[in-house]
Amino acid sequence: MAEGHSADNMTLTLKVWRQKNRNTEGRFVTYTLGGVSPDMSFLEMVDILNTQLIERNEEPIAFDHDCREGICGSCAMYINGRPHGPKQVTACQLHMRSFNDGDTITIEPWRAAAFPIIKDLSVDRSAFDRIVAAGGYISINTGNAQDANSTPVPKEAADEAFMAAACIGCGACVAACKNASAMLFVSAKISQLALLPQGQAERRIRAEKMVAQMDEEGFGACSNTGACSAECPKGISMTNIARMNREYYGAKLKSTNV
Partner 1 sequence: MATSPKLDAKVPDGALETKWTKYRSTVPLVNPANKRNLEILVVGTGLAGASAASTLAELGYKVKAFCYQDSPRRAHSIAAQGGINAAKNYQNDGDSVYRLFYDTIKGGDYRAREGNVYRLAEVSGSIIDQCVAQGVPFAREYGGLLSNRSFGGTQVQRTFYAAGQTGQQLLLGAYSSLQRQISLGNVQMYTRHEMQDVVVVDGKCRGLIVRNLVTGELERHFGHAVLLCSGGYGNIFYLSTNALGSNVTAAWKAHKKGAFFSNPCYTQIHPTCIPVSGDHQSKLTLMSESLRNDGRIWVPKKQGDDRNANDIAEAERDYYLERRYPAFGNLVPRDIASRAAKERCDAGYGVGKSKMAVYLDYADAILRYGKGEANKNGLHNPSEAQIHDLGIAVVKEKYGNLFDMYQQITGENPYDVPMRIYPAVHYTMGGLWVDYNLMTNVPGLYALGEANFSDHGANRLGASALMQGLADGYFVIPYTIGSYLAGEIRNKALPTDHEAFVQAEKTARERIEKLIAIQGTQTVGSFHKRLGKIMWDKCGMARNAEGLNEAIQEIRALRDEFWTDVRVTGDADELNIELEKAGRVADFLELGELMCIDALNREESCGGHFREEHQTEEGEALRDDENFAYVAAWEHQGEKGWNLHKEELVFENIKIAQRSYK
Angle, vertex CA 93, rays to CA 19 and CA 240, nearest 5:
90
Q: Which one of ligand FES, partner 1, none interacts with residue 207, CB within 5 to 8 A by kind?
A: none
- The reply on whether position 81 binds partner 1 by CB under 8 A is no
- The reply on whether position 65 binds partner 1 by CB under 8 A is yes
Q: Work out which of 177, 196, 210, 222 binds partner 1, going by CB under 8 A.
A: 196
Q: Give, in order, the Cα–Cα distances in Å from 39 to each of 55, 66, 235.
A: 24, 19, 24
Contacting range for partner 1; rule: CB under 8 A; set: 99-107, 172-180, 193-201, 223-231: 193-201
* Strand pairing category for 104-108 and 78-79: antiparallel
Least distance from ligand FES to the Cβ atom of residue 236, Å: 14
Q: Which one of partner 1, ligand FES, none interacts with residue 108, CB within 5 to 8 A by kind?
A: none
Buried b (16+ CB within 10 A) or exposed e, 171-188: bbbbbbbeebbbbbbbbb
Give the binding site for ligand FES (CB under 6 A): 65-68, 70-75, 90, 92
Which of 205, 68, 37, 77 has its CA nearest to residue 136?
205
Q: Sign (positive/negative) of CA torsion 160, 163, 165, 167?
A: negative
Least distance from ligand FES to the Cβ atom of residue 77, Å: 9
- The reply on whether position 215 binds partner 1 by CB under 8 A is no
Nearer CB in complex with partner 1: 21/223: 21
> Per DSSP, what are the bridge partners of residue 116?
none
